[in-house]
């Protein structure tokens, strides 16, 4: 099967995302750090939508449905896939949102003073 690249900055494939989900990294914050998704030069602008789609899919919510993982604040009762999808959250965005050259940051800092 052809390789599907989800994250072009870090060359992360759809198979790698699926593998991480199968190993129990069901949450965006853990998935991000386990695969490296959304941590490259674009900081998630190119890959985050597809990653969230995977998390909202039955594959992504399998752990919560099976009681293996808790989602943020979800009840303990079994849930429908569509309800679970609503639990998927956008990961923390870190500043600077646009990567900045160190030279430019130093210059900006000097202007501040």
- C-alpha 51/C-alpha 112 separation (Å) is 38
Identify residues 61-100 at the interface with other proteins (CB under 8 A): 69-74, 76, 92, 94-96, 99-100
Is the separation of the CB atoms in 97 and 43 below 8 Å?
yes
Residue with the two structure tokens 């900006």: 108
Among 5, 13, 18, 34, binds other proteins (CB under 8 A): 34
At residue 6, φ and ψ (nearest 5 deg) are -95, -45
Stretches 11-19, 48-56, 78-86, 103-111: which one binds other proteins (CB under 8 A)?
103-111
Q: Work out how close the CB of 2 gets to other proteins at its nearest, in angstroms, rounded to a whole number.
A: 26
CB of 19 to other proteins, least distance (A): 14
Per rule CB under 8 A, is residue 109 in the interface with other proteins?
yes
Around Cβ 41, how many Cβ atoms within 10 Å? 10
| CA gap 33, 68 in Å, rounded | 19
Binding-site ranges for other proteins (CB under 8 A): 27, 29-30, 33-34, 36, 39-41, 43, 69-74, 76, 92, 94-96, 99-103, 105-106, 108-109, 112
């Amino acid at each position: 099967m052809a390789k599907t690249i989800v994250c072009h900055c870090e060359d992360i494939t759809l198979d790698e995302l699926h593998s991480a989900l199968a190993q129990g990294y069901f949450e965006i914050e853990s998935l991000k750090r386990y695969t490296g998704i959304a941590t490259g030069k674009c900081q998630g602008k190119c890959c985050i939508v597809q990653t969230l789609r995977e998390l909202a899919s039955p594959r992504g919510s399998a752990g919560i449905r099976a009681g293996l993982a808790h989602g943020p604040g979800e009840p303990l009762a079994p849930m429908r896939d569509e309800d679970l999808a609503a639990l998927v959250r956008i990961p923390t965005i870190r500043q600077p949102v646009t990567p900045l050259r160190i030279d430019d940051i130093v210059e900006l800092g000097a202007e501040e003073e």
